[in-house]
Structure 1
């Protein structure tokens, strides 16, 4: 590839392919450069370090999770229905990733564990989306909580088993949907009566 045609996006595409082929332990910036047929110095002009490149890969991967959820958070209509659909979509995205390509999911999970700041920003974004839905539910008298942000954080933490990669091995359990339905009823009850405001 011509150095002048190289973009951050094309580098990230190549990095994803290299990670798919070699895994996070063996993939290097040199491998990405070789894949693109450029010098590794060219990669460093766009990403100053291997860590910066991996952070960018993790950020793009996590954005693929958060972007469709943002659409649900911004919709109008019943907050109860939207919040339930938001979590259903989150769980569906995560399950598809782990079931369709378990090795790639493990690779991205390993990268995300190294990119702590990127993951924290991602979680913060997800909590803000939940808070946005809860705020609309307060406005429509569906929810009765004093602090949408605190309630959103509590809801996110209460459902972590169903969307955090550390629990991926549990997602194929036959009772996982029933378990979520039970947790959801408790969460919804807390939002409706205002018990998730602390």
Structure 2
């Protein structure tokens, strides 16, 4: 019986260490960005050794996947299915942009750092795919075809982008509501 208890407690400690490593990495990614975050920094913040970090995450990609999965699980992107129920294209776009800009505001500290770096490891593939699908969903009810559809889709994709929100709100000093108005005019 004692052996089972010891194994269970060891597994709990391993799970706690793993979560502390993920939390430490997320905090550092948000503070200094993924490019400037080292395994030594993560280990120090998580109060574990470097070997423990590598035991849980054998490479940077594994750690990045765990961090992005945990972070996006705690900060889910807007649900596009609700947008599909709105028949009027402009009303759908306005609703989508309002929810998207609220999401961008809530994830600003992280996304400012993460999106500033190169996207060569693919950890953001799901994030970018979400916004690509959202742009397709928002362009569909306009009924545009050919080149007009491509341009409309591009405008909507640009309106949804974190960088657009950041430029309008932080760069131009607009409120989220004003940024939605500008983005709707530009996109449609």
TM-score w.r.t. length of structure 1: 0.60
Shift of 1:133: 5.4
- What 5-or-longer segments of structure 1 have no aligned partner? 138-142, 188-198
In structure 2, how many angstroms separate the alpha carbons of the residues matched to 1:45 and 1:169?
41
Task: Name the SS for the 2:42 alignment partner.
Answer: helix
TM-score w.r.t. length of structure 2: 0.63
In structure 2, how many angstroms separate the alpha carbons of the residues matched to 1:30 and 1:182?
48
1:124 aligns with 2:107: no
In structure 2, how many angstroms separate the alpha carbons of the residues matched to 1:166 and 1:29?
32
Question: Residues 121, 22 of structure 1: CA spacing in aligned structure 2 closer, same or farther, 3 A cutoff?
Answer: closer
Alignment of 1:136-147 (within 5 A): 137=141, 143-145=142-144
Alignment of 1:90-169 (within 5 A): 90-98=100-108, 101=109, 104-111=110-117, 113-115=118-120, 117-132=122-137, 137=141, 143-145=142-144, 151=149, 154-155=151-152, 157-159=154-156, 160=158, 163-165=161-163, 168-169=166-167
Shift of 1:85: 1.0
CA contact (8 A) 2:28 2:42 kept: yes
Question: Residues 20, 162 of structure 1: CA spacing in aligned structure 2 closer, same or farther, 3 A cutoff?
Answer: closer
Equivalence for 2:49: 39
Question: Residues 118, 177 of structure 1: CA spacing in aligned structure 2 closer, same or farther, 3 A cutoff?
Answer: same
Shift of 1:125: 2.0
- C-alpha RMSD of the superposition: 3.8
Shift of 1:92: 2.9
Shift of 1:83: 3.4
Question: Residues 26, 116 of structure 1: CA spacing in aligned structure 2 closer, same or farther, 3 A cutoff?
Answer: closer
> Larger Rg: 1 or 2?
2
Alignment of 1:1-198 (within 5 A): 3-6=13-16, 9-58=19-68, 60-61=70-71, 67-70=77-80, 72-73=82-83, 76-78=85-87, 80=89, 81-98=91-108, 101=109, 104-111=110-117, 113-115=118-120, 117-132=122-137, 137=141, 143-145=142-144, 151=149, 154-155=151-152, 157-159=154-156, 160=158, 163-165=161-163, 168-172=166-170, 173=172, 174=174, 176-184=179-187, 187=188
* Count of residue pairs brought into register by the alignment: 170
Q: Runs ≥4 in structure 1, deviation > 6 angstroms?
A: none
In structure 2, how many angstroms separate the alpha carbons of the residues matched to 1:167 and 1:68?
15
Task: Name the SS for the 1:117 alignment partner.
Answer: coil
Shift of 1:15: 0.9
